[in-house]
Chains A and B, each alone.
Chain A
Amino acid sequence: MVIGDVQKDFLLAVEGLTVSFDGFKAVNDLSFYVDENEIRVIIGPNGAGKTTVLDLICGKTEATSGSIKFRGQELTHMTPNQIVLAGVGRKFQTPSIYDDLTVFENLEISYPRGRTVFGALTFKRDAAVRERVEAVAETIFLKDRLHTSAELLSHGQKQWLEIGMLLIQEPALLMLDEPVAGMSVSERVKTAELLHGIIKNHSVLVIEHDMKFVEDIAHKVIVLHQGRILSEGKMDKVKNDPKVIEVYLGH
C-alpha cells in the first residue's frame, strides 16, 4: 500500500520492516514513507509496536529484516551515533535528561561539535556555543533556568529540555515519543505551541495518545496494531475507519 508518488524522494522510507523477539513479531512487515517537512503521527493501543518502530529507526533495536532508508541512506546497519550524524534525532518516552548537569550543560552535550573522544577533550565553550544554547533555551522556555540543575525542573520542563536537546542537534527528522505525556494542561498548551513552532522547518515523527493533540498537529496518521499498519492517512479518514474504532478509538 504505497501512498503518494513512488518516484518522489522521501525523507524516510521504511519497507518490509520486521523484528521478532523470540518468535514474537513486535513489528511485522511494516512499510511507510515520510516526506520532507511532514508531520506524521503514529497511534495505536499499548503493545502495538509504536516505540519499537522508533527504536528500529534510531538503531536501538536491530531489525530482523526489511529496510529503513533515510535520504537514500540505509540505516539498518548503522550504529546509533552514525544515525544521529545522518540527521535523525529522537526523544524518549520518559524524559531522558542528565539530572546531575545543568540545563546549559544538558543542551551543550547535544551541540553538534566535539562528538569524538578527542573532540570532546579539546572542546571549547566559545561564543557560538553559548549563543546557540541560549537561543534554544529561549525556544523551550528555559532561558532563565540555564544554570539550574536539571533535576530541579518540573516534569514538563524536563520534556521541553529533551526536545531542546534534539533541536540543538539540528536533525532533519525529529522523532518524539509521547511528548505531552504527563503534562499539566497549561504545559500541554505551551508544548503544542512549541512543537508547532519547531515543525515548521522539520520533519517530525510523533507517537502520541492524546487525540486532541494529534488532530492539532498531524499531517498524516498511522494506526499500528499488533505490529502491522491498521490504517493510514489523514486524521479524518482514520478516525472514521471502523477497524480503528474497534481496536482503539472505541475504548
Chain B
Amino acid sequence: MNENARLFDRSELMALAALALLLLVILPLGLDVFRLNLVAKYLTYAFVAIGLVLCWGCGGILSLGQGVFFGLGGYCMAMFLKLEASSVANTKIQSTPGIPDFMDWNQLTQLPFFWQPFHSLTFTIVAIFAVPAIFAFIVGAALFKRQVGGVYFAIITQAIAAILTILIVGQQGYTGGINGITDLRTLKGWDIRTDQAKFILYFVEVAFLFATVVAAQFVRRSKLGRILVAMREKEDRVRFSGYSVANFKIFAFCIAAVFAAVGGALFTLEVGFMSPSFVGIVPSIEMVIYTAVGGRLSIFGAIYGTLIVNFAKTSFSESFPQLWLFGLGALFIAVVLAFPNGLAGLWRDYVQPRLDPLLLGRSAAAAKWAGRSVADGAAAE
C-alpha cells in the first residue's frame, strides 16, 4: 500500500500509454494534416477540461467562466503574434504603419501601452501563465475568503465571463472587438500557417498536454489532492482540522486557470486567431460539458471526453444539424442523471473489470480487485 510514492499506478500508466499511442502514433499516421489540425484544436480544450477535473471534480468548485482564462491565455499569445505580423513592411497601406490593422481602423495612431511589452516573446510566455493566475487569484481570494462557494461562485464566474466579453467587444480599438485578433502569421519568423508547421505544432501541443497531465496528477496524488476531495465533501471538517480552506480553493482555481490559459495560447497558435467568442458563457459551459462527459474525476476521461464530444459535434452537426442540439442536450442530461462519473466511470465499472483478466491474468486481477482500496478507485475514476 505505497500508492503515495508513485505518481501513476498501474492502470493509470496503461491509460497514459494508451493515450500516448493514440495521440503520438495512431492519429498522426491515420489522419491528414487538416484532420490532425482539428484534433489539435480540440485538444486545446482538453487543457481546460483537465483544469476543471482538479477544480470541479476534485475540489467541487464549479467555474462557469473558464473561457475567461482560455481567452486571457489566447489573447496574450495573439497579441504577440499580431505585433509580429504587423511589421511596418506588412502594414504599409495603413495610415499608421506598424500597428495592428484593427487599431488603424479605429484611428489609433500608436500602440497602447499595455501592448508594448508583447513585443517580447519572453514576456508573452510569462504573461500567459501570470495574467490568468493573477486574475484567478484576485477573483478567488475575494470570493473564497468570504466563503462564497457552490452555486454562487458558479453564477459570479458566469457574470465575469459576460463582463469580459462585453468589454472586449466594446473596446475594439484595443482588442479587435468581436472579430478578435486575426491573421496571425509567424512566430519569431517561423510561418505557423504551413502544413509542416501545423504538424510540428501538434506535437508541441501534445507534449504540453502530457506535461499538464503529469502536473495535474502530481497535484492529485499529493496530500493537497486529498484535501481538495475532503473539502468537496466536508468543507467544515477540513476548516476545523486547521486548514485555510480558502487558500486551497484559490490554489485549485488558479491552477485550473493556468491550464486553461495554456490551452488558449496553444489554440491561438494552432488556429491562427483569437476572438471573444471563446470567452463568453456558452463556450465556458461547453467546456464543463466536455469534463462531465469524460468524467469529472478523471484526467484521462476529460481528454477523451473533449475529443469525443468535439468529434461528434463536427461530424454530427454536418449530417444532422437539426438533431445535434437535441443530442448534445440529451447527452448532458444523461451524464448528469445517470452517469455522474462520465465515460471514465463507465469504463471503470464495465470495461475494465472485463479487460483486466485478459491483461493481468485472472488471479492477479482478482487479487487486485479484492484488495483495491477506494483511494485507488477514486484516483482511477
19 A–B contacts, CB within 8 A, in A order: A79-B244, A81-B245, A97-B234, A98-B229, A98-B237, A101-B378, A102-B375, A109-B241, A110-B242, A115-B243, A117-B224, A117-B247, A121-B222, A123-B223, A123-B224, A125-B223, A147-B375, A148-B373, A165-B241
- Is A112 an interface residue when CB atoms closer than 8 A count as contact? yes
CA distance A148 to B233 in the complex (A): 17
Knowing A117-B251, A120-B223, A121-B219 touch, does A81 contact B242 (C-beta < 8 A)? yes
In the complex, chain B residues 193-243 whose Cβ is within 8 Å of any chain A Cβ = 219, 222-224, 226-227, 229-230, 233-234, 236-243
Is A120's CB under 8 angstroms from B227's CB?
yes
CA distance A102 to B378 in the complex (A): 10
CA distance A58 to B241 in the complex (A): 11
- Chain B, residue nearest A105 (CB): B226
Q: Is the interface of B mostly helix, strand, loop or mixed?
A: helix
- Is B144 an interface residue when CB atoms closer than 8 A count as contact? no
Chain B residues whose C-beta falls within 8 Å of the C-beta of A151 in the assembled complex = 374
- Is B248 an interface residue when CB atoms closer than 8 A count as contact? yes
Is A125's CB under 8 angstroms from B226's CB?
no
Is A85's CB under 8 angstroms from B242's CB?
yes
- Is A100 an interface residue when CB atoms closer than 8 A count as contact? yes
Is A100's CB under 8 angstroms from B378's CB?
yes
Report the count of interface residues on B (CB-CB < 8 A).
Answer: 31
B-side residues, CB < 8 A to A, are 1, 4-5, 219, 222-224, 226-227, 229-230, 233-234, 236-245, 247-248, 251, 373-375, 377-378
Name the one of A60, A108, A114, A147 contacting B240, with C-beta atoms under 8 angstroms: A60
| A172-210 contact mask (Cβ, 8 Å, vs B): 1 or 0 | 000000000000000000000000000000000000000
- B219 to chain A minimum Cβ distance, whole angstroms, is 7
In the complex, chain A residues 80-126 whose Cβ is within 8 Å of any chain B Cβ = 80-81, 84-85, 89-90, 92, 96-102, 105-106, 108-110, 112, 114-117, 120-125
Is B239's CB under 8 angstroms from A81's CB?
yes
CA distance A110 to B5 in the complex (A): 20
Name the one of B219, B230, B237, B247 contacting A116, with C-beta atoms under 8 angstroms: B247
CA distance A81 to B201 in the complex (A): 46
A-side residues, CB < 8 A to B, are 58, 60, 79-81, 84-85, 89-90, 92, 96-102, 105-106, 108-110, 112, 114-117, 120-125, 147-149, 151, 162, 165, 169
Chain A residues whose C-beta falls within 8 Å of the C-beta of B377 in the assembled complex = 149
Chain B residues whose C-beta falls within 8 Å of the C-beta of A116 in the assembled complex = 244, 247
Name the one of A85, A101, A112, A165 contacting B226, with C-beta atoms under 8 angstroms: A101
Chain B residues whose C-beta falls within 8 Å of the C-beta of A96 in the assembled complex = 234, 236-237
Name the one of B219, B248, B374 contacting A101, with C-beta atoms under 8 angstroms: B374
CA distance A84 to B242 in the complex (A): 5
- B216 to chain A minimum Cβ distance, whole angstroms, is 12
Knowing A109-B227, A120-B224 touch, does A81 contact B244 (C-beta < 8 A)? yes
Is A169's CB under 8 angstroms from B226's CB?
no
Is B233's CB under 8 angstroms from A98's CB?
yes
CA distance A114 to B227 in the complex (A): 11
Chain A residues whose C-beta falls within 8 Å of the C-beta of B373 in the assembled complex = 102, 147-149
- A55 to chain B minimum Cβ distance, whole angstroms, is 10
Is A112's CB under 8 angstroms from B242's CB?
yes
- A162 to chain B minimum Cβ distance, whole angstroms, is 8
- Chain A, residue nearest B249 (CB): A117
| Interface-central residue, B223, B238, B245, B374, by most chain A CB under 10 Å | B223
Is B375's CB under 8 angstroms from A120's CB?
no
Is B239's CB under 8 angstroms from A109's CB?
no
CA distance A79 to B244 in the complex (A): 8
CA distance A192 to B127 in the complex (A): 59
Chain A residues whose C-beta falls within 8 Å of the C-beta of B251 in the assembled complex = 117
- Chain B, residue nearest A175 (CB): B240
- A171 to chain B minimum Cβ distance, whole angstroms, is 9
Is B223's CB under 8 angstroms from A114's CB?
yes
Is A123's CB under 8 angstroms from B241's CB?
no
9 more CB-based (< 8 A) A-B contacts, given A99-B233, A121-B222: A60-B236, A97-B234, A102-B373, A110-B242, A115-B242, A115-B244, A117-B248, A117-B251, A125-B5
CA distance A147 to B378 in the complex (A): 13
